[in-house]
Amino acid sequence: MLEKDILLIINPNASKGKGRKKAHEIKDAFQRNSRQCTIAYTKGPGHASILARKGVLYEYNVIVAAGGDGTVNEVLNGIMTAEGHERVTMGIIPIGRGNDFAWSAGIPNNIDKAVKLILSNRSEKVDVGLCVGTDHKEGLYFFNGAGFGFEPVVNFRAMGYRHLNGMPSYVAAFIYILFHFPSPYHVNITIDGEERTLVTQQISVCNGRRMGSSFLLAPKARLNDGLFDVMYTTHPFSSTGEILRAALAFLRGSHVSDSDDFAYMNARHVLIESAEGNMEAHCDGEVFSRAGSRFELTIQPSALELIHGKEKC
């Protein structure tokens, strides 16, 4: 491959403002392995997608997202919406807050190890999700998962903490939500053509296994099986104790065997409709909707070549 073939897109504000310093560390790591990379810094929300689309246009073979799940999501969307994206391989260097998708893909947090993994070119076609809603009529692609209800409420609050990062930010947000937990949603959910009516506080549609830095919402998920792992609570949780028990189950992944409180299944297509129109939703931890009423999710099997780690996708 040509030396100009690696484009590194990095969020300088990642890791609470340490992204620019880490960019130099990443560049040095490539140089120690006798390779060069072109660095492009993001300038604000959505810019990583623009840079990734240009990277495809300029015929970079490998486009690397350096940041958290939000940067990874933007780079994914930039690649997927560019003509010729089929020939591009995506890499990830996780330096963000949660790094949940990188964990699911077995990508190390250590910069030197992540760079060596990229240079090993060990890649595989993986699935990509697409979510369409009122706020995103053309859809938003996602790698890790989409959440509706309790999960995005916790996530959005964690995003607002300026001096907390990673798991501590989610713990602080979760403690707050324990005393201000959201009202249940009345929804119709159609899973691969089968419709059901729910009163629930949480729906997760997952491609990866982990959300919120430590919660194994989809412990059985695989990135290349052509299926979502769908989880939802089967009834409202009306007390702090019930929510704590649910959180502990998510930490262990034990909810998959609790059919009284949770439902867990595979699907290729999910439609979520709420007459109240007040559902909060995220894709890969980023705000998808603050008050949505309809969400349609489809899996795109083997949609993108991804450099992944030792954990099997």
Asked if the structure places residue 236 within a domain, the reply is: yes
- 153 — pLDDT class (breaks 50, 70, 90): low
Instruction: Give me the phi and psi of 103, to 5 degrees please.
Output: -60, -45
Please name which of 44, 128, 114, 32 lies closest in space to residue 80, comparing C-alpha atoms.
128
What per-residue string of b and e applies to 179-199 under the rule 16 or more CB within 10 Å gives b?
eebbebbebebebeeeeeebe
Q: 136 with 208, same domain? A: yes
Which of 93, 121, 149 is at the close of a domain? 121
Average pLDDT over all residues of the chain: 89
Q: 68 with 145, same domain? A: no
CB 203 within 8 A of CB 272: yes
Count: domains in the chain: 2
Evaluate if residue 308 carries a pLDDT over 60: yes
Asked if the structure places residue 228 within a domain, the reply is: yes
Q: 53 with 113, same domain? A: yes
- 170 — pLDDT class (breaks 50, 70, 90): low
CATH of the domain at 228: 2.60.200.40
Residue 116: CB atoms within 10 A of its CB come to: 15
CB 149 within 8 A of CB 279: yes
Asked if the structure places residue 258 within a domain, the reply is: yes
Q: 230 with 251, same domain? A: yes
CATH of the domain at 40: 3.40.50.10330
Asked if the structure places residue 68 within a domain, the reply is: yes
- 285 — pLDDT class (breaks 50, 70, 90): confident
DSSP state of 132: E
Evaluate if residue 89 carries a pLDDT over 70: yes
CB 4 within 8 A of CB 30: no
- 150 — pLDDT class (breaks 50, 70, 90): confident
What's this model's pTM, rounded to 2 decimal places?
0.90
Which of 67, 90, 121 is at the close of a domain? 121
pLDDT at 312: 47
Domain around 262 = 131-301
Using a 10 angstrom Cβ sphere, with 0-12 exposed, 13-18 middle and 19 or more buried, the burial of residue 239 is exposed
Using left for φ > 0, alpha for ψ between -120 and 50, and beta otherwise, residue 306 falls in beta
